[in-house]
Amino acid sequence: MNKNMKILIVDDFSTMRRIIKNLLRDLGFTNTQEADDGNTALPMLQSGNFDFLVTDWNMPGMTGIDLLKAVRADPNLVKLPVLMVTAESKREQIIEAAQAGVNGYVVKPFTAVTLEEKISKIFERVEG
Amino acid sequence: MAVDERLALAKELVVQLEAGNEQEVQRITSELSSGNESELFQEVGRLTRELHEAINEFLLDPRINEMAQVEIPDASERLSYVITMTEKSANTTLSAVEAGLPLAEELGSRSTEIAGKWERFCRRELSVDDFRELSRELGGFLETAQRCSQQLNGHLTDVLMAQDFQDLTGQIIRQVITLVHDVEDKLVQLVRISGHKMPEKQKDMNKLEGPVIPGVDQGNTVSGQDDVDDLLSSLGF
């Protein structure tokens, strides 16, 4: 796994972005950027050469699920690994995210270990 | 109306019907049913009065006015303040942690460096010059350790103090819970007055539920990360 990969963190709460950013840094990923909803994130993804997207679901403006669908609909982003980190925990929602092409799903509240586990699992599959 | 009275009227009705006297027939028919009608009117009147009184009572209840004009807007303010306080606390804590992490890292990496040399010293592998250098480094390290631990102490105190919101937000939220209960009671009264059967509660399927809250039924939710993982692996993930 390339520790220099460029990661976009999308969450409407700045504190949650800071937490994820710090956890990622602790795991050795320092090349991170932030956006506060899908509308801000999508243009960044389209022009920014990102390797990985970590997104919340419930955000004003464009939600995480809509961002995921937009990413999968864009031929340049269709293969971008996406990890959803969200408090949404209805079974239908998890299935919806899976069908929309999410690569991993972490429910809040989560631990550093869970985040690391999901990220390494995603990249095992992507690279393997 | 007594039985014999009604019997007499009924007999008279038969006579008038046979005679084809339409006017009389109508008069007798309405006389026969008038007793029931007046009872019905009385009952409707009573219910109307009761409903009127109940509505008046409800409208005159000063609690309703107070809740609508003062307490609910107040509660919104209070809850916004809870968000402000918790956000401020989270930011203070995060800043302290972000400031503390490099200090811990510095202490760790410097001590690893020195530990290597120290081991060589214990094995008597250091030359006099190397030892001089080591003792200089040790001196520097001890200064660093003092500085870092002092700063770390400060940051940890910041984290500690940032938890003071809990007491205040707890009190505010408790006040709002009391208000919500009061409003609920009043709404139940209102429903009772209107006498309507409430339609079955229907949840908006597209509404995002947010975090799972123990004891609140939020539909078909997972109970944690393990559940999510099971669900996803059942989908072939």
Instruction: Tell me the per-residue pLDDT of A58-67, one tens digit each, with 9 for 90 and over.
Output: 999 999 999 9
Angle among Cα B169, B209, A91 to the nearest 5 degrees reads: 135
B216 touches chain A (CB under 8 A): no
Choose among B209, B224, B225: nearest Cβ to A88.
B209
Residues A53 and A84: beta-carbon distance below 8 Å: no
Query: pLDDT tens digit string along A75-110?
Result: 999 999 999 999 998 999 999 999 999 999 999 989
Contact A94 B87 (CB under 8 A): no
Q: Which two tokens stand for residue B145?
A: 């350790």
A73's enclosing H/E stretch is helix A64-73
Q: Give the pLDDT confidence score for residue B203 in this predicted structure.
A: 65
Interacting residues of B121 by C-beta distance below 8 A, sequence separation 6+:
B131, B134
Contact A88 B225 (CB under 8 A): no
- Cα A89 to chain centroid distance, Å, stands at 16
| SS3 category, B118 | helix
CA-CA distance, A103 to A125, in Å (whole number)?
Answer: 9
CA distance B235 to A93: 13
- Do residue A14 and residue B91 have CB atoms under 8 angstroms apart? yes
Closest chain B residue to A106, measured at CA: B225
Chain A residues whose beta carbon lies within 8 Å of the beta carbon of residue B210: 58, 87-88
CB contact under 8 A, A106 and B225: yes
The total of other beta-carbon atoms located within 10 Å of residue A20's CB is 23
Strand partners, A52: A7
Q: Strand, coil or helix: what is A87?
A: coil
pLDDT digits (tens, 9 = 90+) for B21-58: 888 889 888 888 776 777 888 888 988 898 888 888 87
pLDDT in tens, B54-89: 888 877 788 888 888 888 888 999 999 999 999 999
Residues in chain A: 128
Q: Do B222 and A14 touch (CB under 8 A)?
A: no
Residue type present at position B8: A
pLDDT tens digit sequence for A13-39: 999 999 999 999 988 999 999 999 999
By C-alpha distance, the chain B residue nearest A18 is: B94
Distance separating alpha carbons of residues A119 and A81, to the nearest angstrom: 10
Cβ atoms of A45 and A70 within 8 Å: the answer is no
Task: Evaluate if residue B199 carries a pLDDT over 70.
Answer: no
The answer, yes or no, to whether residue B237 has pLDDT greater than 90, is no
| Composition of chain A by helix, strand, coil, percent to 5 | 45, 15, 35
Question: Residue B153: how many CB atoms within 10 A of its CB?
Answer: 11
Has the ipTM of the complex gone over 0.90?
no
- Residue A89 to chain B, least CA–CA distance (Å): 5
Lowest mean pLDDT among B150-154, B193-197, B217-221: B193-197
For residue B106, the distance in angstroms to the closest alpha carbon of chain A comes to 14
What's the predicted TM-score (pTM) here? 0.73
Q: Looking at the complex, does the CB of residue B228 fall below 8 Å from at least one CB of chain A?
A: yes
pLDDT exceeds cutoff 80 at B133: yes
B97 contact residues in A (CB cutoff 8 A): 22
End-to-end CA distance of chain A: 11
